[in-house]
Every structure is written in C-alpha cells, then in structure tokens.
Amino acid sequence: MKRLTAGALFSMAAPTGWSQDQSDSPAAKPSASQASSTSREVRLEWMMPAEINAAMTQCSTLFQPLGTIEWHGLHNVVGLDALKAQMLCIRAAQAGGGVVAPPLFGGVGGLDEPHTFVMEPENDIHSILVRSWVEKLCREAVRQGFKAIIILTGHYGAAQQMVIRDVAMRQSRALGIPVLGTPEYFLALDKGYLGDHAAWGETALMLHLAPKKVDLSRLGNPPYQGVGGRDPKQATPADGRLLSETICERLASLSRQMPQWDTATLRDFIDAESALVSRQMLLAASEKNVWAGWRNIGKGVISAYGQLLVERKFKEIVELTQKL
Ligand SMILES: [Zn+2]
C-alpha cells in the first residue's frame, strides 16, 4: 500500500504469466506437512476441464488476484502487487480449496515513477475501468458456477481499496453470493502489517514468497526512491512467512466456508463490508482526503478484522468501522 507522506504513493500491478513453477525459491516450495496439497494445480489457466470440475466440486470459490505494473523501489520487481496477490491466492486455494483466476495487472493509481502504468488517476474512487472489469468478472464467475469470489488486491492506494471493496459488496448483493474484495494486509493487521509501499511489509512478503526476486543490495541509502513505510532493510523472510501464513490461513478458511453461507450470513457479511467501505468513503468525502478512513488504523481500531471475518462476527466488524 502506499500511504506515503504525500499520500500519493500507491501501486498498480502487472499482468500475466507468473507461474509458480518459475519461482524456484526454496521458500516457495511446500513444507513437508503441506507437500500433497501445495503441489496441486489451482491456477485456472493451467487446468484442464476435468481438473476444474473436480476442484469446483470440492470448493466452488474463485480467487481473483489484482495488482498493476508499478515502481516498487530499486530492490523489487514492478509486478510485485499482482504477483504477491497471486502467490497468496495460490497458497490459500491449495490449502482451503478453490481456483485462482489469472491476475489482473492494472488498477487505480500508481506512483509518478519510472516503469509505472497508471490506468486510472490515483484518487479516483469513481473508477470506471477496474470497477466494470471486476463487475463483469463476478458475473462471469457466477455463470461458470462459482458460489463465492475472493478478490485480493495487492495494490492498495486508498481509491483502489475502496473501489474493490465497494464493487465486491455491490456484486454480493446483485448476484446473491458472497464476494469479498480486500487488500491482503487487512487480513494481517493484527500481525503489525498496516500496508506499505515496497517497504518492510511488501519486501518481507516477497522475501518469503519469491526471494530471488528481491535484491536489497540495490536499494542504496535513504531516502529510498518510491518507497513508503518502514525501512525495507528491516524486512526478513521470517517476517514475510508470518504475514503470508496468517493471510493464507484466513483466506483458506474463507474459501472453504463462503460457498456454504446461508442467506442470513450473506446478509450480515454484506452489512459489515458495506459499513466498512461506506465509512471510508464518507470520511474521504467529508474531509476531502482519500486516506481519511485510515487515520486510526495505526491505533489498532480495526486490527481484529481478519479474525472476525473468519469467525463470521460481522456485527462486531460493523462496530469497529465506526472507530475509523
Ligand atoms: Zn505494492
């Protein structure tokens, strides 16, 4: 994410082609206890019809990773946001079930730095490109028989976050199935990750998920170009592992349970997600600052979000949103 000083550093991510097979990092290999499940192909574009049918019979959740192509410091690859989201979705689907759609490399906003594709303005909560793309994706997923959708954005300017949660909530209502749209860090707030841009959090995640695609020796000395948050030199693979495992366990639990939610649970979920994004949008509008809804995040007011979501304690989420 990029809550940099000027409030303008955010990411957009990049497209296609990340293959888990291309990640030859030891950390990307399954642990012994996970060997059987983590070797299962869950990337939709690499699956044959029989594999897709079998996967959907077991768990009819579709994961959609989002990101963009954006500068992430001299030490990270420019597709970081979408690649990170995709790798997290893959691990979650392998653990909890579901299928992972190809990542979208295009979002709302992006830094004014080299090698950055800005598809829509940074603070454009009225996004027409990403919003309509996700809407159509949700409708197609339902037409294909999916019963739940998890949209994970690894790119997180304020507008991107609000647009994704808003469109997910609206599609939940329109389609009658749960659609969760969230940045991955919202599922690890209680582990101390509040979102950043190419700083401690994102760099730690990449050190764990794809260590050969991080080169801290290229970073130089502060102030680092286009980096927002804690010093990335403080990031360790162990930090990334903790964040990754927390996020993936919660995503896996959600993937397993969401297709089974009854109407009352779906209604309460929509109420909670609606309360969250409505609060963010209202604060942004009233204070004329898209980041206004994040001003109290550092105080831990909504750190319980990820766990409450997994435990379906939606009314408690509604209460927490009022503290933003
Ligand atoms: Zn990023």
* 156-199 residue pLDDT tens: 999 999 999 999 999 999 999 999 999 999 999 999 999 999 99
Q: Residue 182: enclosing H or E segment and its boundaries?
A: strand 179-183
Number of domains observed in the structure of the chain: 1
Residue 11 belongs to some domain of the structure: no
The residues, any chain, with a CB within 8 Å of residue 81's CB and separated by 6 or more, are 11, 12, 13, 14, 66, 67, 68, 70, 72, 107, 153, 154, 155, 156
- Ligand 1 centre to CA of 53 (Å) is 33
What would the mean pLDDT of 88-96 be, rounded to a whole number? Answer: 98
Residue 87 belongs to some domain of the structure: yes
Residue 111 belongs to some domain of the structure: yes
Question: Percent of the chain having pLDDT more than 70?
Answer: 88
- Ligand 1 centre to CA of 205 (Å) is 11
The model's confidence at residue 38, banded by pLDDT at 50, 70 and 90, is low
CA distances from 213 to 75, 83, 84, 122, 182 (A): 8, 11, 11, 26, 25
Distance CA 162, CA 167 (A): 8
Residue 10 belongs to some domain of the structure: no
Q: What pLDDT is attached to residue 51?
A: 98
Q: Is the pLDDT of residue 8 over 90?
A: no
- Ligand 1 centre to CA of 80 (Å) is 6
Residue 56 belongs to some domain of the structure: yes
- Ligand 1 centre to CA of 240 (Å) is 14
The model's confidence at residue 222, banded by pLDDT at 50, 70 and 90, is very high
What's the chain's average pLDDT? Answer: 91
What would the mean pLDDT of 84-103 be, rounded to a whole number? Answer: 98
Q: What pLDDT is attached to residue 39?
A: 79
- Ligand 1 centre to CA of 154 (Å) is 6
Q: Is the pLDDT of residue 32 over 70?
A: no
- Ligand 1 centre to CA of 310 (Å) is 24
- Ligand 1 centre to CA of 72 (Å) is 7
Phi then psi for 71, rounded to 5 degrees?
Answer: -50, 130
- Ligand 1 centre to CA of 48 (Å) is 32
Beta bridge partners of 21: none
What would the mean pLDDT of 280-307 be, rounded to a whole number? Answer: 97
- Ligand 1 centre to CA of 25 (Å) is 20
Q: What pLDDT is attached to residue 301?
A: 96
Q: Are strands 104-105 and 99-100 parallel, antiparallel or unpaired?
A: unpaired
- Ligand 1 centre to CA of 186 (Å) is 14
Q: What pLDDT is attached to residue 7?
A: 34
Residue 299 belongs to some domain of the structure: no
- Ligand 1 centre to CA of 202 (Å) is 6
Ion ligand 1: residue ranges with CB closer than 5 A: 11, 81
| CATH number of 129's domain | 3.40.50.10310
Q: Residue 80's domain spans which residues? A: 20-259
Angle formed at CA 160 by CA 291 and CA 93, multiple of 5 degrees: 125
Nearest to residue 247, comparing CAs of 131, 96, 37?
Answer: 96
Q: Is the pLDDT of residue 59 over 90?
A: yes
Distance CA 318, CA 324 (A): 11
- Ligand 1 centre to CA of 63 (Å) is 19
- Ligand 1 centre to CA of 36 (Å) is 31
Q: Is the pLDDT of residue 18 over 80?
A: no
Q: For the CA atoms of 256, 302, 320, 166, what is the dihedral angle to 10 degrees?
A: -60
Q: Is the pLDDT of residue 304 over 70?
A: yes
- Ligand 1 centre to CA of 307 (Å) is 23
Residue 5 belongs to some domain of the structure: no
